[in-house]
């Protein structure tokens, strides 16, 4: 705690105020103590005295009434009650008198009178006590009398009854007995009567209230007992002794200790008591007057004391209040000066600073920060608060921006986004999510569960697939998505594919990105198909290339055999047949090469409609009468750049396929139309049985056919495919089972003339020029059989031939033999030096050296060569090409010489 | 007689002979008839022979005996030296009687008396005033031959659905009475259901008391038999007494035989003659009914304790209550005959000598086994000496008889008779009212109320406080509250 701080100041003020109030309180207590002492003086002396005096007076009055009760008491019980009440009052009076004496230093009038009254009352008490004892003795004598009476009754009763029984029933007694009974009953009855009378008289005496009446009853009782005693001799002898005792007891009541004497003394004592009571009453009256006077005096004294006390209390209270008020005012002033005012000012400054801060003034300065008290702490804390507020505001703004960005991202992102909570209820989604699934807002606004979403998807026949391609069910996926990162696809019946990436979220549930990959999947499928076709094409081309080499050897040798077997017709015939078979094989290879886009094409600008129209007759003939052929040719179509021969073959193939698909009856429609930029489409549609969807991807593969085993080669559509592809177009096939199939060929529109490479003119020209006969030709081929054949064929035409099986050897020979006039080389050769490399190196040494190339699968680079002979090379073609090159060389080398 | 008692009597007689020569005559006053007076005469004869003192027995009718004795006392002209009178009169006679000599009171002759009879019959207000000669209680007798007869038993079972056995309650008693009343015994004798005394002066009140004893003996309120022991107000007019009176009247309505109303002697004689199936009587009936000389049914007699009741009157609540089982309340009816000596006797010593002679055990034992003596067993030995009784009654009857006596005396609820001054006056008042009812002059309830009123008057005349004290003592209750 800092004593210089506000708390310290306030504490100091409170301590000082408390001390001041303590001093004032002590002063007040002292004053009150004085007041209490004064009051105690009054209450301790005057009040008890007055109280005791008043009680004495009240008891005195009551004793006067007691006297009347005592006089009026006629029964022993009433008398006893009155006596008891008087004795009780006397005891109370004595106590109160003693109490009064104790309060006074010297006896006053009340005390003196009380003392006299107490003496009288003691006399009264003694008289009453004596009277009570005498009354008890009289009561005892009454009981004795009654017992004696009972004794006499028991004594004489049975005899009386026995005698009465006789006297009352003369019929059952003899007369003598009766008379005896009558005579004898007199004393018994007299004894009974006198006993009753004596008892009654005694009881009356016990209740007599005056000596006179008592004397009168005593005299009567005396007469009765005398008579009773006189009966003794005449009573039955057996009863006399006990009767005598009883009669004596009766008479004994007349003696000094008898009931009559006791009753007389009791009455005398009662008279004395009444006299004492009367004297007491006089004293009581005086006492009352004295007490009244004392009460009056005490009342005045107490009034004076009370007034004094009131004044004292008033002054003391006033002083205390004033002192307290002064302390409070001083404490308030000091507090205001030292605490409240600075506190208020600084708080106002802080408030102002906060207001300005709230208004955006960031450079607001808080006053009082230099103070070393709580205000200073507050100002410094506020400064820190202010800085924190600015930082918070900045962070809040950034957060808002990020949040808005995030929301905008979610709303505008191309992919769908959804969040399911730990109860697997959909709790968040973006518009794209709804769009991807085709849900409306109402369907998901009720936070449906993932199971409900799955049901909705199942109703739409959506199927789920794992990344490995295996199909799974949606509910199993939902369970996994809660605990694991999960990727899967949903495939819709309309070929829409959604890729889902789910990740569990820490709070439970999972978030999912829904990406529409329909186009990607379609593209991938197309790419896959293209790659497959490319692979098949490369494979097919490779085989065809090798097969061409083989065919070239076969055909070449057969030609030699045919040429040299003119004299042997049988051999010649077999050679011709073999040549025919070889030619068919070559044709087959040619179609394979067409598929693998390795056939030699001679593209030209073709009027497609004219080409179709030109083939109509041929097609109708080929299709048969039951097949109707319709053509639907668009007007003003641009020409297409294509080799018309293969195109016609392609059109024929398509028509034949259509016919075969229609089982001999139906309609074939051939249409032309403009397609997207730069293309014209030629399509062939039929109304046949169609092709199953799962087979559509395979129909362009070589040797794939849906026809019976002996009806198709499986190369028709392959050749079409290869031809169109090689021509720069595309092929599309649509087929609906039981409805029909449509094959569309998109062919490139022709561009400006002259841009297309002209094919090598392979038409053999005329026969050997004699000058060229001795020319030396270097033949290079890694296929030694074909190399040998080719060498033999050229030698047959008179040329000098040197051969090499690889590029290095060929270069060696070129270097060694400068007479070599022409280089004839295969393009593809092992050993690191291809036909191109060989030709290039040879021309570097001999720039004028003519070069002919040959290849079974020349590729794109080879296609551009003008001097390329496609294997298998017919001998005449080879001879013509050699001759042409040699002649051209001779013209170049001889011209300067002309 | 024991040797000590015999020696004592001999000494007394010897001393008397020495001191009182010449011997004076002893006059005995008692009731008339064979019972009581008979033994006095017999023993007087033997006494005279033994001592030389003549014994003169004056007999007076029972109804006038009390009055005569009392007149003698009152007039001082009692000529009797020995009075033989009912114990209940002792409170009235006590002032006129001399006390029992101390030697006699302390002798085995007195000490051998059954405590029930000794303390309550022989003393008055702490003084020995008389010597008892008799021990009275009421009991029941029945004809065993009838009760054991199979046809009779079957008939009874058919009518009442229970076996025919001696009654344990007054309800059983009434059923059996009604069953036998008017039937004929196997020998053809016309039967009464039961016999109880109903003749005026024939001690009929004690039969009424026997009926009332069970109904008034509430276990929680002892002593509420004749009076309220707290207030000395009569209770003879309450419903218990009314019921007892009605049942008594029903019982005596049985055919009493040719002699009409019976006194107690007639009851036991009629039963012995075979006139009834049952009888209620003092224990005299045992000897009379089993005496071959006087009984036609000897050998066929059984005895039962006085019947009881399951219903008992609650005197405080004023309602009937039902006990778990019937409770038999034996009644010491009349107490017994006692002998005393008037103060006025001229020969008191001879008089006491004669009384001691008469009460000597050897004579008393013979008297109590003689059904005609009027004396019943009262000495302790008389209840134990089974052989004496079996020789007379037969084994079964003796056993039955003694068992009933022992059970009656030992039962804690056994009711004592009234014993207060004025007893004859109380009895006379009640008997007069019962007579009025029997003569059809009054209804039972009214008669009992009238008797109760007279009882109140008598009580007051004799001093209620003393009467209450005496009554409580008689009922075996403590000293009354002052």
> What is the ipTM score, two decimals?
0.81
Same domain for B358 and B241, yes or no, is no
Mean per-residue pLDDT, A764-779? 62
pLDDT band at A753 (very low <50, low <70, confident <90, very high): very low
Contacts with B458 from chain A: Cβ below 8 Å: 161
pLDDT at position A3 is 55
A241/chain B closest Cα distance in angstroms: 9
Given CB atoms, is B462 within the 8 Å cutoff of chain A?
A: yes
Least confident stretch, A354-363, B5-14, B308-317:
B5-14
pLDDT at position B236 is 95
Rounded to two decimals, the pTM is: 0.52
CB-based contact A238 B96, cutoff 8 Å: yes
CB-based contact B96 A154, cutoff 8 Å: no
Mean per-residue pLDDT, A414-443? 87
Domain of B308 in residue numbering reads as 138-329+397-482
CB-based contact B462 A177, cutoff 8 Å: no
d(Cα B107, Cα B361) in Å, to the nearest integer?
Answer: 12
Which of the two residues, A808 and A591, has the higher pLDDT score? A808
- Domain count for chain B: 2
Whether residue B411 is contained in a domain is answered as yes
* B425: nearest CB among A161, A172, A181: A161
CB-based contact B462 A157, cutoff 8 Å: yes
Whether residue B391 is contained in a domain is answered as no
On the question of pLDDT at A877 being above 80, the answer is yes
CB-based contact B96 A239, cutoff 8 Å: yes
Q: Specify the CATH number for the domain of residue B27.
A: 3.40.190.10
Which B residues 86-125 touch A at CB under 8 Å? 91-92, 95-97
CB-based contact B67 A165, cutoff 8 Å: yes
CB-based contact A158 B67, cutoff 8 Å: no
Mutant choice from B58, B61, B71, B341 vs A, greatest count of A C-beta within 10 A: B71
Given CB atoms, is B170 within the 8 Å cutoff of chain A?
A: no
Average pLDDT value over all residues in chain A: 81
CB pairs under 8 A between A and B: 94
Which of the two residues, A440 and B307, has the higher pLDDT score? B307
* B463: nearest CB among A154, A159, A237: A154
Same domain for B55 and B130, yes or no, is yes
Same domain for B75 and B179, yes or no, is no
CB-based contact A153 B67, cutoff 8 Å: no
B28/chain A closest Cα distance in angstroms: 19
On the question of pLDDT at A364 being above 80, the answer is no
B456/chain A closest Cα distance in angstroms: 14
d(Cα B146, Cα B427) in Å, to the nearest integer?
Answer: 36
CB-based contact A238 B343, cutoff 8 Å: yes
Max mean pLDDT among A585-589, A643-647, A814-818, B97-101 falls in: B97-101
Least confident stretch, B187-191, B287-291, B393-397:
B187-191
Given CB atoms, is B354 within the 8 Å cutoff of chain A?
A: no
User: What percentage of chain B carries pLDDT values higher than 70?
Assistant: 93
Same domain for B342 and B322, yes or no, is no
Contacts with A183 from chain B: Cβ below 8 Å: 75
Same domain for B222 and B157, yes or no, is yes
Same domain for B212 and B354, yes or no, is no
Given CB atoms, is A388 within the 8 Å cutoff of chain B?
A: no
B134/chain A closest Cα distance in angstroms: 24
pLDDT at position B276 is 93
Chain A: residue whose CA lies nearest to B467: A154
Same domain for B80 and B223, yes or no, is no
A224/chain B closest Cα distance in angstroms: 20
CB-based contact A237 B68, cutoff 8 Å: no
Whether residue B389 is contained in a domain is answered as no
Given CB atoms, is B70 within the 8 Å cutoff of chain A?
A: yes
pLDDT tens across A294-308, in order?
Answer: 778 777 877 887 787
Same domain for B370 and B346, yes or no, is yes
pLDDT at position A768 is 46
Same domain for B351 and B431, yes or no, is no
Given CB atoms, is B342 within the 8 Å cutoff of chain A?
A: yes
Same domain for B115 and B50, yes or no, is yes
Whether residue B388 is contained in a domain is answered as no
CB-based contact A150 B71, cutoff 8 Å: no
Contacts with B66 from chain A: Cβ below 8 Å: 162
Whether residue B155 is contained in a domain is answered as yes
Whether residue B181 is contained in a domain is answered as yes
Same domain for B325 and B339, yes or no, is no
| φ, ψ at B385 (rounded to 5°) | -80, 85
Same domain for B374 and B436, yes or no, is no
pLDDT band at B223 (very low <50, low <70, confident <90, very high): very high
């Amino acid at each position: 705690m800092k004593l210089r701080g506000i708390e310290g100041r306030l504490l100091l003020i409170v301590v000082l105020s408390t001390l001041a109030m303590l001093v004032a309180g002590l002063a007040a207590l002292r004053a009150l103590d004085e007041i209490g002492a004064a009051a105690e003086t009054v209450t301790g002396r005057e009040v008890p005295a007055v109280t005791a005096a008043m009680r004495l007076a009240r008891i005195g009055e009551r004793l006067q009434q007691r006297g009347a009760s005592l006089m009026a008491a006629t029964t022993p019980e009433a008398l006893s009650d009155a006596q008891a009440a008087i004795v009780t009052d006397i005891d109370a009076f004595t106590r109160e008198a003693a109490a009064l004496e104790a309060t006074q230093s010297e006896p006053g009038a009340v005390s003196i009178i009380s003392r006299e009254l107490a003496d009288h009352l003691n006399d009264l008490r003694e008289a009453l006590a004596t009277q009570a004892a005498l009354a008890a003795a009289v009561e005892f004598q009454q009981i004795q009398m009654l017992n004696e009476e009972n004794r006499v009754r028991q004594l004489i009763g049975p005899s009386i009854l026995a005698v009465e029984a006789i006297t009352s029933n003369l019929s059952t007694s003899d007369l003598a007995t009766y008379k005896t009974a009558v005579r004898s009953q007199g004393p018994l009855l007299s004894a009974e009567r006198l006993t009753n009378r004596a008892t009654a008289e005694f009881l009356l005496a016990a209740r007599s209230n005056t000596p006179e009446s008592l004397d009168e009853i005593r005299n009567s009782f005396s007469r009765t007992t005398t008579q009773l005693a006189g009966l003794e001799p005449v009573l039955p002898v057996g009863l006399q002794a006990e009767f005598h005792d009883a009669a004596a007891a009766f008479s004994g009541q007349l003696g000094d200790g008898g009931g009559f004497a006791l009753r007389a003394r009791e009455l005398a004592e009662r008279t004395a008591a009444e006299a004492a009571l009367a004297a007491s009453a006089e004293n009581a009256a005086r006492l009352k007057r004295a007490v009244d006077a004392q009460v009056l005096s005490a009342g005045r004294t107490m009034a004076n004391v009370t007034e004094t006390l009131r004044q004292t209390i008033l002054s003391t209270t006033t002083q205390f209040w004033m002192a307290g008020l002064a302390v409070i005012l001083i404490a308030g002033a000091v507090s205001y000066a030292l605490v409240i005012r600075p506190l208020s000012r600084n708080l106002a400054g802080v408030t102002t600073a906060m207001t300005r801060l709230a208004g955006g003034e960031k450079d607001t300065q808080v006053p009082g920060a230099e103070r070393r008290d709580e205000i200073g702490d507050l100002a410094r804390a506020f400064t820190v608060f202010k800085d924190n507020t600015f930082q918070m505001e900045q962070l809040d703004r950034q957060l808002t921006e990020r949040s808005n960005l995030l929301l905008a991202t979610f709303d505008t992102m191309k992919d769908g986004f959804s969040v399911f909570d730990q109860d697997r209820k959909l709790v968040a989604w973006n518009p794209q999510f709804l769009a991807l699934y085709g849900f409306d807002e109402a369907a998901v606004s009720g936070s449906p569960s993932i199971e409900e979403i799955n049901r909705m998807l199942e109703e739409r026949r959506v199927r789920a697939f794992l990344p490995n391609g295996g199909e799974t069910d949606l509910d199993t996926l939902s369970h996994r998505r809660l605990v694991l990162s999960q990727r899967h696809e949903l495939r819709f019946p309309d070929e829409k594919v959604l890729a889902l990436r789910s990740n569990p979220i820490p709070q439970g549930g999972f978030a999912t990105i829904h990406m529409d990959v329909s186009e990607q999947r379609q593209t991938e499928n197309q790419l896959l198909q293209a790659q497959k076709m490319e692979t098949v094409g490369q494979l097919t081309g490779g085989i065809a290339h090798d097969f061409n080499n083989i065919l070239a050897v076969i055909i070449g040798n057969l030609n030699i055999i045919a040429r040299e077997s003119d004299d042997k017709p049988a051999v010649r015939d077999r050679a011709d047949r073999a040549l025919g078979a070889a030619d068919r094989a070559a044709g087959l290879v040619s179609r394979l090469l067409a598929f693998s886009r390795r056939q030699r094409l001679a593209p030209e600008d073709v009027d497609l409609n004219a080409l179709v129209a030109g083939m109509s007759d041929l097609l109708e003939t080929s299709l048969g009468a039951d097949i109707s052929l319709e053509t639907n040719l668009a007007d003003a179509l641009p020409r297409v750049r294509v080799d018309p021969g293969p195109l016609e073959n392609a059109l024929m193939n398509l028509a034949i396929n259509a016919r075969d698909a229609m089982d001999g009856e139906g309609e074939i429609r051939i249409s032309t139309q403009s397609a997207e930029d730069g293309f014209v489409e030629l399509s062939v549609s039929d109304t046949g049985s169609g092709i199953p969807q799962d087979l559509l991807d395979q129909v362009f593969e070589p040797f794939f056919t849906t026809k019976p085993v002996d009806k198709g080669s499986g190369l028709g559509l392959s050749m079409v495919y290869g031809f169109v592809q090689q021509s720069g177009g595309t092929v599309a096939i649509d087929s609906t089972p039981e409805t029909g199939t449509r094959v569309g060929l998109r062919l490139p529109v022709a561009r400006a003339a002259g841009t297309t490479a002209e094919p090598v003119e392979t038409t053999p020209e005329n026969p050997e020029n004699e000058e060229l006969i001795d020319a030396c030709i270097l033949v290079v081929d890694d296929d030694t059989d074909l190399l040998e054949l080719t060498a033999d064929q050229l030698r047959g035409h008179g040329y000098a031939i040197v051969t090499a099986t690889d590029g290095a050897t060929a270069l060696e020979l070129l270097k060694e033999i400068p007479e070599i006039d022409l280089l004839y080389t295969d393009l593809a050769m092992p050993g690191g030096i291809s036909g191109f490399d060989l030709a290039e190196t040879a021309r570097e040494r001999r720039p004028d050296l003519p070069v002919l190339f040959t290849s079974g699968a020349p590729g794109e680079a080879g296609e551009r060569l003008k001097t390329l002979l496609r294997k298998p090379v017919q001998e005449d073609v080879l001879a013509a090409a050699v001759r042409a090159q040699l002649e051209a060389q001779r013209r170049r080398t001889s011209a300067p010489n002309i | 007689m024991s040797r000590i008692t015999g020696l004592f009597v001999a000494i007394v007689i010897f001393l008397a002979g020495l001191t009182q020569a010449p011997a004076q005559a002893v006059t005995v006053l008692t009731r008339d008839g064979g019972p009581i007076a008979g033994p006095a005469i017999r023993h007087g004869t033997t006494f005279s022979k033994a001592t030389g003192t003549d014994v003169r027995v004056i007999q007076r009718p029972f109804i006038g005996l009390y009055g005569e004795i009392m007149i003698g006392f009152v007039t001082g002209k009692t000529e009797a030296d020995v009075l033989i009178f009912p114990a209940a009169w002792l409170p009235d006679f006590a002032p006129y009687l001399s006390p029992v000599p101390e030697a006699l009171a302390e002798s085995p002759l007195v000490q051998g008396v059954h405590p029930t009879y000794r303390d309550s019959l022989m003393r008055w207000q702490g003084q020995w005033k008389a010597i008892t000669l008799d021990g009275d209680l009421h009991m029941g007798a029945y004809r065993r031959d009838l009760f054991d007869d199979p046809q009779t038993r079957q008939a009874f079972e058919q009518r009442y659905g229970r076996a025919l056995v001696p009654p344990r309650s007054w309800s059983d008693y009434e059923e059996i009475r009604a069953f036998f009343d008017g039937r004929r015994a196997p020998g053809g004798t016309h039967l009464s259901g039961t016999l109880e005394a109903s003749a005026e002066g024939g001690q009929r009140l004690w039969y009424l008391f026997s009926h009332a004893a069970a109904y008034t003996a509430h276990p929680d309120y002892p002593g509420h038999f004749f009076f309220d022991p707290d207030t000395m107000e009569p209770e003879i007019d309450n419903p218990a007494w009314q019921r007892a009176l009605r049942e008594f009247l029903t019982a005596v309505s049985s055919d009493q035989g040719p002699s009409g109303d019976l006194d107690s002697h007639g009851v036991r004689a009629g039963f012995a003659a075979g006139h009834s199936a049952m009888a209620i009587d003092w224990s005299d009936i045992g000897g009379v009914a089993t005496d071959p000389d006087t009984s036609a049914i000897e050998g066929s007699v059984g005895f039962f304790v006085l019947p009881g009741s399951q219903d008992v009157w609650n005197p405080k609540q004023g309602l009937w209550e039902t006990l778990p089982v019937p409770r038999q309340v034996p009644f010491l009816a009349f107490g017994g005959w006692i002998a005393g000596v008037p103060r006025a006797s001229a020969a008191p010593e001879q008089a006491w000598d004669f009384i001691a002679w008469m009460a000597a055990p050897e004579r008393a034992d013979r008297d109590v086994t003689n059904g005609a003596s009027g004396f019943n067993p009262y000495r302790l030995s008389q209840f134990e000496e089974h052989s004496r009784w079996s020789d007379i009654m037969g084994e079964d009857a003796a056993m039955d008889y003694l068992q009933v006596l022992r059970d009656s005396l030992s039962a804690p609820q056994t009711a004592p008779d009234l014993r207060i001054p004025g007893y004859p006056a109380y009895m006379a008042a009640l008997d007069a009212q019962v007579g009025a009812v029997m003569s059809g002059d009054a209804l039972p309830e009214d008669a009992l109320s009238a008797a109760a009123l007279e009882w109140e008057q008598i009580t007051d005349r004799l001093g209620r406080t003393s009467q209450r004290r005496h009554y409580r003592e008689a009922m075996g209750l403590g000293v009354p509250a002052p």
